[in-house]
Amino acid sequence: MNRRSFITLLGGAAAAWPLAARAQQKVPIIGFLGAATLSAWREWAGAFVQRLHELGWIEGRNIRIEYRWAEGREERYTAIAEEFVKLKVNVIVTSGAAVIPAKQATSAIPIVFGVANDPVSTGLVASLASPGGNVTGLSLLAPELVGKRARDFA
């Protein structure tokens, strides 16, 4: 191999190296479990993607979102959650009644819920002050927070 061929080969390898390294990087995967259909959740999913974009997470570039729609059939929640576990998603995003099957499917993957009625009595979290475990999110339960809010503003 002559010198010119060697330099060309070396230069080509150096130029391709960052591309190969980038291709091998695993992008985080979000499992998005929608309770209804895409058409019913279009605004919510769009707002979710928009906020991720504002935070620097671009779908298809540095994040992947796997959408699954239960189409109003609660019996699909468990199968979808188990599919997310097999896909090894980095986080599951869901809401409402889908949170419990997601929690039953995994204790390792973080689960973020948009809304849950009573996460303490349903066993999703140990307490509102110290949820523990792999589940977190927003609750519609306000009476238990009155004492905490009073202390915070005193």
Any idea where the domains of the chain sit in the sequence?
26-153
Contact 41, 69 (CB under 8 A): yes
Residue 45 falls in which region: left (phi positive, over 0), alpha (psi -120 to 50) or beta = alpha
DSSP bridge pairs for 113: 94, 137
pTM > 0.85: yes or no: no
Contact 137, 99 (CB under 8 A): yes
Residue 9 has pLDDT above 50, yes or no: no
Name which residue leads in pLDDT, 14 or 59. Answer: 59
The position carrying tokens 């061929």 is 5
Nearest to 34, CA basis, from 101, 93, 90 = 93
Confidence tier at 10 by pLDDT (50, 70, 90) = very low
Residues whose CB is less than 8 angstroms from the CB of residue 117 and which lie 6 or more positions away in sequence, other chains included: 96, 139, 140, 141
Class of domain 26-153: alpha beta
- Among the residue ranges 22-31, 60-69, 135-144, the one predicted with the least confidence is 135-144
R_g of the chain, CA atoms, integer Å: 22
